[in-house]
Amino acid sequence: MRIYPYLRASTNEQDANRAIGSIERFASEQGIKLSKAFIENESGATLQRPQLFQLLDTAERGDVILLEQIDRLSRLTDNDWQKLKGIIQEKGIGIVSLDLPTSWTLLKPQASDDFTRSILNAVNGMLLDMLAAVARKDYEDRRRRQAEGIHRAKSNGLYRGRTEDTAKQERVAKLLDNGLSWREIIETIGCSRGLVAKVAKQNKGRS
């Protein structure tokens, strides 16, 4: 059994380092060895996540995806979450999350009988569904509050929109000109796939 940490990296590098630290401390406490960590730049609200699907291609039956929190895996709609869960179950990969202690049993040698394991798997499945639904609701609530705040700011003439990170866009443009793939650029700069697509479209429009 191999254990692959899966982390969501925000634009704040400190957040990713903190998450890695939490997972490494957990692994030390549990006496487990970690395999390669997969760090995602895409939002948890989309299925378009190259690092996650690279992990799923790499992992084999009986391996485990280790999360700091379940929302790092899914803020998806219910339909998309069921699709992703189906892929994970079909491959026979376990999900362990630091905020779901009942899932930690997957990290230990299976000493219990088949009936007990079936009950634990069923309980974990229900809890994962519940936490995924909570994560999606939290995401939608925050988006709604953000939209309401922007609307109020616009009404008061205070909203100027998001400032564009021109320096990062220039770096992306330069790497595109140098022939790097989108994945290489994402891994090198730590930017989102959306930003690379935006810059590539701008470059195409200027050519």
Q: Which residues have a Cβ under 8 Å from the Cβ of 159 and sit 6 or more positions away?
A: 150, 153
Angle between helices 182-189 and 193-206 (to 10 degrees): 120
Dihedral sign (CA 58, 60, 110, 90): positive
Catalytic residue selected from 10, 28, 112, 181 = 10
Catalytic residue at 10? Answer: yes
CA 160 to chain centre: 30
Give the helix ranges, DSSP H, for the chain: 13-30, 50-58, 78-91, 114-155, 166-177, 182-189, 193-206
Residue 125 CB coordination number (10 Å): 14
Which residues are part of the catalytic machinery?
A: 10
